[in-house]
Structure 1
């Protein structure tokens, strides 16, 4: 098996993107370590109830985040790789689309606050201004397509340092919850400035001319992105509805406990994200070579992600209680039993990132939406039932069960190629592509 694993990293073409992935991985590891420790300090300072309110506000905003992103991220990367001569058109039209939708969403949230004035909704309104600055994340897509993520990493690192310093400062001066909410918006502002600086440093010839913004390009981008946007909406509903339902069915304290469990299990989900983001050009090129090469590259990536997920499951199953006692403290100890259930979801989520890119490259994005909406609906129904029956741990069961049912329906009955890929990746076997 060791030899098989070595072969994964010696695969022809894989090394080309490894340096880029290493930069992303290093940044995310640093963000995970620094962000985790500072985030835990914030959670300890706020306590479960205030921490629950903060996470509820973020979850509420998260419900709209997929709409704000418009599903453009992967589409922009793919288009920039395939049509580098159209960089200006692709980037400017994507930026225009994201800016327009961000303004509309902020107005909607403001009107919602005017109709339902309370402290939680006020926090939500403040957080919504993050969308203004997140439109510049399209610059990140440019550097991904060019396999130059080093420069994005530098920006993210600077932003992380500033944000972490301010969080610690707020804790020391015993700042109220509102300060931490405003800091989230400020962090997005710093990121936007950094992206703009790096972009102009390495691409000075771009022209922000209105002649590049055309209905034709907007329609072309939106035609590809809308299924991903709807899929993303389903995904964020899936990821955030549990906190929202816990807040409404139980209370802020239980929301804080559950959020702590989510924090220590979801931190690892950056790994499939950065691997797939950095290796998207690697997969697109493999698809151009032929189906066998493309499928082989999918299997290489799937093997890495599956084995890392299994490693996490073992660690959390054995040491979850100790992990929470050391990190969040005794006030959050109830989160340890929730985390043991939630960590199993990573096995499905990690592998699903490979499947998503597979469908995107083959222009079959609608099935991603159908899968996501199915799982989201199941999660909402199961949350409503299981939270009432079992309390906060019912939300963890709802998340895992909805994933399992969704995978059985879509992988076993609708696309058996996916099951084949999963088992061959798990067994580290050589593969061939058969439709």
Structure 2
């Protein structure tokens, strides 16, 4: 794998994601304010409910493609047509199942309509993830970056229009469906042009690919339990207002996951190539990847946790202040998620996919059990946002279990002396900044006042940067080298033949 190509692709994808996440963040702020906790809770419940069903339609193919098509460029043509036909049939069945469950539960007609429409959106979203995986495997991401931005602009503009016009609840799904349909048409064009993707039916190859993708499929379905089913349970056991609280602060916390798609899109193909060529490079990518995600995610997580009340008051309004403790509970989860993502990618590239799958299945069982046990008593003990707090605690427990198991499965190869030193120094700096934050509170910078709360966070940030550079947890020379590589990413490479990945594919 050419590291410079990987860096350029990561920068391109990261640039487009910065734009799309900026639009998404604006929507995450706008929607809760306009809809209020109850209506926003109904929207979040419908979105989580449809997502939990339609995770089945992806069949694990996007992860399988990043792993296998990265080293066998023509492989996608052998199964794509057959799997697409199967996805269409499965989507129709899932729509029917969703309708039956919602009618049995007595959901209001507008919530039923919204969930069914969001199910249609989920089908195209999963299809686009598969098409994007083909482009990632072929290292053709320029058009994909454009597609991300165009899709999010269409989605964001349409959603703002729906909110401003005060359209009925089901209309919230229309911008999502329209944007994904446009994106699907564009990605079909890109995959045909850059990857030579063809629609042909080969039953044997389709069955072979689905069988090989089975562990990825089970893993993805299990992960949906953590990310989707918990919201459905919260809405059924608790109420839709609790879902509104949880969804609103999750929208703030979720912005810390900017790097997650880049890790998924870039890391697995890169690790798969490294595993096929050099075990030393394979381990090096793992260790530096873990070091990098710790360095990047820790300060953002710390800022969310320390300034929970300030962020809620600033971004989504006083109406959601009961959910500030939920944001504080969610904040540490994202460090764990990044570490688990890197370790999971390494294990998959090392052909230990079932290790990842079994771990996800364990979390999938643990999550609903803990939610069912914790939501009712937490609602009684804490009142508003008590159920949301129970769901956040459940998710945190599951992420701790998953991360510990995956890191343990890799063993000593996961961390070297340098990585452990960075981890230890970063945790020490976080503890010191937390002490500074508490001291500032005693000195009068109270988070109950927005201006003072923001001033307190600025001081926290300055303290973090100073300490992180002073302790050497982040190396200035490496930061400058990365900046230099990003700046020079557009310079043409010397014509010394095809990169190793293309030579192997040939």
Aligned length: 412
Partner Cα separation in structure 1 for residue 295 and residue 184 of structure 2: 35
Distance 2:328 2:280 in 1: 38
Question: Structure 1 residue 52 and structure 2 residue 41: aligned?
Answer: yes
The yes-or-no answer on 1:180 pairing with 2:176 is no
8 A contact 1:235–1:376 mirrored in 2? yes
CA separation of 1:149 and 1:282: change in aligned 2, threshold 3 A: same
Quote how far apart the aligned CAs of 1:276 are.
Answer: 3.2
Matches within 5 A, 1:66-81: 66-81=55-70
Distance in 2, Cα, partners of 1:96 & 1:376: 28
Q: Could you say which residue in structure 2 is the equivalent of 1:4?
A: none
CA distance in 2, matches of 1:16, 1:318: 38
In the aligned structure 2, how far is the partner of 1:130 from the partner of 1:71?
18
Change in Cα spacing, 1:52 to 1:77, as seen in structure 2 (3 Å) is: same
- List alignment gaps of at least 5 residues for structure 1: 1-11, 430-435
Between 1:399-408 and 1:224-233, the stretch displaced more is 399-408
Q: Which residues of 2 match residues 84-95 of structure 1 at below 5 A?
A: 84-95=73-84
Task: Determine whether 1:382 maps to 2:370.
Answer: yes
Q: Distance in 2 between matches of 1:258 and 1:294?
A: 39
1:15 matches 2:4: yes
CA distance in 2, matches of 1:154, 1:94: 26
CA–CA distance in structure 2, aligned partners of residues 253 and 281 of structure 1: 41
Which has the larger Rg? Answer: 2
Instruction: Give the alignment of 1:159-198 within 5 angstroms.
Output: 159-198=151-190
Match of 1:220 among 198, 208, 221: 208
Native 8 Å contact 1:27 1:157 kept in 2: yes
Partners in 2 of 1:189 and 1:164 — Cα distance?
Answer: 15
CA distance in 2 between counterparts of 1:302 and 1:246 reads 33
Q: Kindly indicate whether the alpha-carbon contact (under 8 Å) linking 1:321 and 1:333 is maintained by their aligned counterparts in 2.
A: yes
- Is the CA contact 1:342–1:400 (under 8 Å) kept in the aligned structure 2? yes
Distance 1:378 1:86 in 2: 37
Q: Shift of the alpha carbon at 1:136?
A: 4.3
Q: What's the counterpart of residue 355 of structure 2?
A: 367
Which residue of the other structure, out of 78, 94, 99, is the alignment partner of 1:105? 94
Q: In 2, are the aligned partners of 1:80 and 1:90 still within 8 Å (CA)?
A: no
Pairing 1:25-424 to 2, within 5 Å after superposition: 25-112=14-101, 118-119=108-109, 120-134=111-125, 135-202=127-194, 206-210=197-201, 213-215=202-204, 217-390=205-378, 391-392=386-387, 393-409=389-405, 411-412=407-408, 414-417=409-412, 420-421=414-415
Q: Deviations over 1:152-175 (max 9, x none)?
A: 111121111111111121222222
Deviation at 1:46, TM superposition (A): 0.7
Show the counterpart of 2:461: none
2-side partners of 1:293 and 1:410: how far apart? 20
* TM-score of the pair, normalised by structure 1: 0.88
Question: Separation in 1 of the partners of 2:211 and 2:417?
Answer: 33
The CA deviation at 1:335 is 2.1
Match of 1:421, SS? coil
d(CA) in 2 for partners of 1:333 and 1:40?
Answer: 14
Q: How far off is 1:190 after superposition? A: 1.9
CA distance in 2, matches of 1:343, 1:304: 18
Compute the displacement of 1:181 (Å): 2.2
Shift of 1:331: 0.9
Deviation at 1:110, TM superposition (A): 4.1
**CA offsets per residue over residues 80-133 of structure 1, 9 Å max, x none?**
222124342143344344334323323333444565663223322222222443
2:139 counterpart SS class: coil
**Maintained 8 Å contact 1:97/1:218:** no
Return 5+ residue gaps in structure 2 as ranges.
379-385, 424-506
Q: Is the 8 A contact 2:128 2:187 kept in 1?
A: yes
